[in-house]
Every structure is written in C-alpha cells, then in structure tokens.
Structure 1
Amino acid sequence: MSRLKSANPTLGALLRGLRSREGWTLKEMSAKSGIPVSTLSKIEHDRLTLTYDKLLSLSQRLGLRMSELFAESDDMIEPQPVTARRSIGRLDRAVRVETANYDYFYLCTELRRKRMIPVLTRIRAKSVEEFGELVHHPGEEYIYVIEGSIEIHTEFYDPVLLKQGESIYIDSNMGHAYITAEGCEEALVLGVCSSADESLMESLMTLHGDGEVTSIKQAKAR
C-alpha cells in the first residue's frame, strides 16, 4: 500500500492521493463522492475548495474520518510507535476555516493522532447573541490573548475579561464562547485544545457550521 506524501498537503493533494491509491478515475471518484467531475478536477488542482457541510458529506460517502482530510493519508497502515516527532506551525500551511465571526487557523495538521490541537483564531463576534449557542467538545483548552481583548463566557461562571498577554484554561465540556471585549473590533488568540479522544479534530470541525474550509496553500496571514 503506497503512502501519500506531500510537502504541502492541500485538500486537492489528499484527494489525488486517495484516488491514485484506490485506482479510481475521476469519473469513478465522482460517482462515489457525489461531486461532479469538473468540480473534483478543480479541487484536485487547488482551484476550488469545499464548505464544511460538503466536506462532511465527502468524508461520509468515501468512508473517511474528517480528520483524514487534514493530514497526510496513511490510513490502513499499521500504527508504529512514535519515539520523536515534530511539526513547525506556519500559517501558510495551516487549514483555515472562515466564518462570519471568526477565522480559524489549524496548525501542524500533518501530524496524526495528536492529543493537542493548536489553533490561531481571529475573533470578530461582539456579543453572545452574535456567537450563538455556547459550544461543548471533549477535553480541555488553553487560550492566550495575542492581540486585543476578549470576553470569556462559560456555562458555570460569570463572564471574564482577558487582555493582551492574559490567558485562561478551561474544561471544554463546559459550554463556552469567546467574543471581543467592548471597544475591540478584532482579537487574535492562540488556543490549544487537548483530549485523549483521537477524533478531537473532527469534533472541533463540527463546531464551525457552514464555515468555508480553505486549502492549506491558500491560508495566508493577514
């Protein structure tokens, strides 16, 4: 079984590698995924990306976990003990998810079976109403404010204000929301989510609704 290797693992590269490994033509891939041939071709050549709901449908129809769409495809290979590994987190290789109120940059996505997910987030939501329902997901998380100031709303505590250089550590199973503080138009935070659950990445991606997932090569710093 061959492995997909890519210096810049875009969604297109991952789909090309999957199709090559399975020996599918574009037409066969189209029939299995429900995505038109012309659209698949554009995705494979990094000229088009997919929204989250379409990525979810793609993963279900192809029998993949969502996390497999954001890492080098080494599924069906016997797991090997990891003695030492590393990943340099660069924005130009991040998976970027854009929503109306947030931009998420998922870093170090080429590492498999991570128990920590590092995420840079630009926050624009200015109220809990704008944010929507409090979110819950497995594990714990740490948030550090790099720029601006934010308000943390949680299920069991009063809101707390965090300024640049301040941070918070919470139980992610507790409902929570991050919004900009009064007078702040946009804030930048570094979050690290951790869990013993290997499907943590998949759980996080379900929180973005219809946010657009941008291929890794297109995710540039602002």
Structure 2
Amino acid sequence: TEPDVERLREIKQLRKVEGLNFAAIRKQLGDAPETASPNGSAGGEPTEAPGERLRRLRVKAHKTLKEVSEATGLSISFISALERGGSGASVASLRLLAGAYGVNMRKVFGADLEQSSPLVRDAERPVMQWDNGVRFEEMASGEKVMDPSFIRVPPGAGSEGFYSHNGEEFIYVISGPLFVELKDHGTFRVASGDTLYFPSTTPHRWWAEEAPVEAVYVNTPPTF
C-alpha cells in the first residue's frame, strides 16, 4: 500500500543517509501506521501528528537533519525534538522549515481546505495555531495568487524571530496595535485601521505588546 511504500522510503533515508541503526529508526518512526479506511480516516488517530508531518516532509525532500540545520540555522537537536513531538516551534522557525522543504505553512499544519470554493465561511476556516497562542485562519481556498489570513496575536506573543521569503505582504490591523520590525528599516506601530505593505524578501518579525491583535494578513504568492 502507499503508506507502506512511504514508510520504506523513510527507513531507507534514515538508515543510509542519516546512518541510524534499526533501534534508533524504530524510536524515530514509532509504530507502523494503520491502513486507512475507504473513507480516508485511519483506524487510530484521525489526523497526522505535527511531528510526524515534519519528519515526512523532510524525508520527502530527501534532506538529512544536518542539511536542514545548515539551511535554516536551527539546531539539529531542536529539529529532531520537533519531529518527536516536542513543542516550542515559533512562526519564524516553522516558516524556515517550510522553506527548506519547499512547501507552504498549510502543508506543515495540514490545514488545507478540502474543497475549493469562492466562499469560505467563518466556521470553515482551517486553523494554524502555535504554542504561544498565535493563530492564523485561512480565508481563501483553491489555486490563488494571494494568501489571505485572519490572524490573532495574544499580548506578548509574535513571530519570535525574523524570517523572509519571496513575495510581498500586506497587513490591515482590525484591533491592535501590531508591531512590525523590518530589518534595516525600523519598527512600525500598526494601529487599528492602519495598513502596512512591504517586500517579503526584507527580513521581518512582528508581535503584540499589551493589547491583543486581530488583523488581516495577506501574502503573495501563497507562502502560509
């Protein structure tokens, strides 16, 4: 079956490329996944765990932990801990990993809409949420050139680091303020009703201070 083939590929990657012994491979992969039923749900957990998804994306990209570490600047121990189900990933660190694997953030979270429709209702938005409470809700589906999200940022939370990528970004703050630092360009206090537009290639980070933030955040091309 397809899950079995994918698992064999992972074992080959871990054995020949990363040099793990079979005990380490067993610990890394855990128990064999159960075969999916015809309706698409597995007999065990209904969804893939985040750590398992990160490991699968790395293996699919044919990259070792060392290669990903060198490409992202994240430590091997940190990446390995995330793959084993550890917490502590920030918006910035997961964005770096997504870039290294050649995917967008929705692939990292498994947050794609099942069907493409011009209309996305409030209750149907796929959600990406981090340990620090930052929450992205996808506002569009299907093939698109813009990637709009409704974001919520709790007081004191944020991207927790700079990141950059190809494209352009637009932010409209509904309630805030949201603080955005563009490297070598300063920090901007984006208050309620304000907008900010900048090239995504500029390293940037953002955060809320004392007040929670709600905003519409648009990336183009889609990266989140």
Shorter-chain TM-score: what band? 0.5 to 0.7
Q: Does 1:105 align with 2:102?
A: no
Query: Residues 40-65 of structure 1: CA distance to partner in whole angstroms, max 9, x if unpaired?
Result: 67x825733431x4323334556897
Unaligned 5+ runs, structure 1: 1-23, 74-84, 205-222
Q: Is contact 2:126–2:137 with CA below 8 Å preserved after alignment?
A: yes
Q: Is contact 1:91–1:105 with CA below 8 Å preserved after alignment?
A: no
Unaligned 5+ runs, structure 2: 11-28, 62-100
Give the alignment's Cα RMSD to 1 decimal. Answer: 3.5
Match 1:115 to one of 135, 142, 145? 145
CA distance in structure 1 between the partners assigned to 2:188 and 2:159 by the alignment: 16
The 1:157/1:60 distance shift into structure 2, 3 A limit, reads closer
**Which residue is 2:126 aligned to?**
95
CA distance in structure 2 between the partners assigned to 1:66 and 1:93 by the alignment: 22
Which of 1 and 2 has higher RCO (CA within 8 Å, sep 6+)?
A: 1
SS for the counterpart of 2:123 is: helix
SS for the counterpart of 2:47 is: coil
Q: Given the two structures, how large is their TM-score scaled by the length of structure 2? A: 0.55
Q: Percent of aligned pairs with the same residue?
A: 15
CA distance in structure 2 between the partners assigned to 1:28 and 1:174 by the alignment: 40
The 1:192/1:27 distance shift into structure 2, 3 A limit, reads same
User: Following TM superposition, by how much is the alpha carbon of 1:30 offset from its aligned partner in structure 2, in angstroms?
Assistant: 5.5
Paired residue total: 156
SS for the counterpart of 1:159 is: strand
**Which residue is 1:126 aligned to?**
156
SS for the counterpart of 2:56 is: helix
Q: Is contact 2:159–2:207 with CA below 8 Å preserved after alignment?
A: yes
**Which residue is 2:20 aligned to?**
none
CA distance in structure 1 between the partners assigned to 2:4 and 2:173 by the alignment: 47
Q: What pairs up with 1:24-39 in 2 under 5 angstroms?
A: 24=1, 36-38=32-34
